[in-house]
A = this chain, B = another copy of it.
Amino acid sequence: MGRPRQFSDTAVLDAAMTVFWERGYEGASTQELCERTGLGRGSLYNAYGSKHRLYEQAIQRYAATAGARQLQMLAEPAATVKGALRELMIGVIDADLADPGRRGCLALNAATEACGRTATVAALVRRQFDDLEQAICHLVTVGQRTGELRTDRPPMQVARTFQSAYYGLRALAKVTADRQALLDVVEGAVAAL
């Protein structure tokens, strides 16, 4: 009962996510969050409690949208494991370089920003990192079973190294637009599988 909410939860979180994505946690002001979500201060605080809790929800929303899209990409059957992982990386190069806002990966941004040390934020980011690690590890295991990949190294080790290269790639893409340098990372990482 009570007065029903006049906003869509996901729409508000999408807007808040975008603001945090563009500005970071510290750089996002509650005023801009109100403007971009369309909510008044009262509604926003009534619904989400604080800027920090809204941030946490925005990160979860990121996981449910951008993160899930990537995991789904990896889950779809592909001709080769190497091809799937290469496409994953090429995809983010294209996306990161095409984005004029140079926002990169919200999870990575959250991890490196000062408030990423917050237990809750760190846990949310870690979960996204772990999800990607798992998805890559699964692919590597499949690749080793089908004979596409070498079997002389533990799949988890291979997956973790590839995952590291992936986040490193996204960090590099933040400060360079040198596509060839980024593609070198991809080719090297794929060759190492």
Stoichiometry, copies per complex: 2
A129 in contact (CB, < 8 A): yes
Contact of A185 among B104, B125, B154, B164 (CB under 8 A): B164
A112 in contact (CB, < 8 A): yes
Interface residues in A19-52 by Cβ distance below 8 A to B read: 22-24, 26-27
Query: Bound state CA distance, A172 and B27, in angstroms?
Result: 23
Query: Bound state CA distance, A188 and B181, in angstroms?
Result: 21
Nearest opposing residue in chain B for A117, CB measure: B102
With both chains docked as a complex, state the minimum distance between the C-beta of A88 and any C-beta of chain B, in angstroms. 14
Taking a contact as CB atoms under 8 Å apart, the answer to whether A27 and B115 are in contact is yes
Interface residues in A103-131 by Cβ distance below 8 A to B read: 104, 108-109, 111-117, 122, 125-126, 129
A3 in contact (CB, < 8 A): no
Contact of A22 among B101, B104, B114, B164 (CB under 8 A): B114
With both chains docked as a complex, state the minimum distance between the C-beta of A106 and any C-beta of chain B, in angstroms. 10
Taking a contact as CB atoms under 8 Å apart, the answer to whether A164 and B172 are in contact is yes
Given contacts A158-B188, A176-B126, A188-B158, contact A114 B23 (CB under 8 A): yes
Given contacts A164-B189, A189-B164, contact A113 B24 (CB under 8 A): yes
Interface of A is mostly: helix
A64 in contact (CB, < 8 A): no
Given contacts A157-B184, A161-B165, contact A172 B104 (CB under 8 A): no
25 contacts between A and B (CB under 8 A): A24-B24, A26-B26, A27-B113, A101-B117, A109-B112, A111-B171, A116-B175, A126-B176, A129-B172, A153-B191, A157-B187, A157-B188, A157-B191, A161-B185, A161-B189, A163-B168, A163-B172, A164-B164, A164-B172, A164-B185, A164-B188, A165-B189, A168-B169, A171-B171, A188-B192
